[in-house]
Homo-oligomer: A and B are copies of this chain.
């Protein structure tokens, strides 16, 4: 019942058009930990975005007057603010230099998830993948093709959180696993039937993966989690973890 978290080391720098599945399978094999059935592969969204070409050169962006006005208040690059606004459905909070938006994926996060780090070029930023669940699905299918193994895949991003300091890694795309384990009806240690307990397994797996992904000086964009029995599903998506806004107490 021991769960192992294995970093996937020495991946080449991933660029537009690269096949993440093949690269992860090869790197895992080369380091002596080939992908096995039931492994969970966690990949950080930035390399997915790079492979899918979801990057923007800020030099090509013409900021609107609104973007310029926000940028002036928050000491941000107006072109960056423009990209953040273009990726947003709506603005949830805008204060103290923070721009928290509802993205077109339904996520609420800082700067619409637009990321400056781990992207080559001074003026290049990574957007979130266009459809992170679909990205996870394609990586999963690619691993099955390449290595013949049935795995599940999580595309992750680090998110800040209301009410807690520090960021944690969460799942923004999943394929092959149910992201929330509903323990309602299970018994506890003393036979008490749990009335409401929904564990965000996919987020906990993403956080576990970051223990090895964020550990080294060099960025490690992928990890293998081995030994955790997921509840398998071909249909479940990370959208199942987004609470409907009308149920939200904090917006």
Q: Chain A residues in contact with chain B, CB under 8 A?
A: 1-7, 9, 13, 93, 95-96, 98, 100, 108, 116-121, 158, 161-170, 179-181, 183, 186-190, 192, 194-195, 197-201, 203-205, 207-208, 210-212, 214-219, 225, 228-229, 240-243, 247-251
Contacts and interface: CB of A to CB of B under 8 A. Distances in A.
Contacts of A216: 1
A167 B249 contact: no
A211 B228 contact: yes
B6 A166 contact: no
Given A5-B2, A189-B13, A163 B162 contact: yes
Contacts of A179: 166
A164 B207 contact: no
Contacts of A186: 217
A241 B163 CA distance: 9
A218 to B, nearest CB: 7
B166 A203 contact: yes
A14 to B, nearest CB: 10
A165 B3 CA distance: 24
B200 A3 contact: no
Contacts of A3: 4-5, 208, 211-212
Contact of A167 (B166, B198, B251): B198
A228 B215 contact: yes
A56 to B, nearest CB: 15
Nearest to A205: B211
A6, A98, A167: most-surrounded residue (chain B CB, <10 A): A167
A166 B239 CA distance: 12
A118 B192 contact: yes
Contacts of A187: 217
B204 A93 contact: no
A215 B200 contact: no
A91 to B, nearest CB: 12
A4, A121, A249: most-surrounded residue (chain B CB, <10 A): A249
Given A166-B199, A186-B217, A204-B207, 14 more contacts: A2-B4, A3-B212, A118-B192, A120-B190, A161-B200, A162-B163, A163-B243, A163-B251, A165-B240, A166-B198, A166-B201, A166-B241, A207-B207, A250-B251
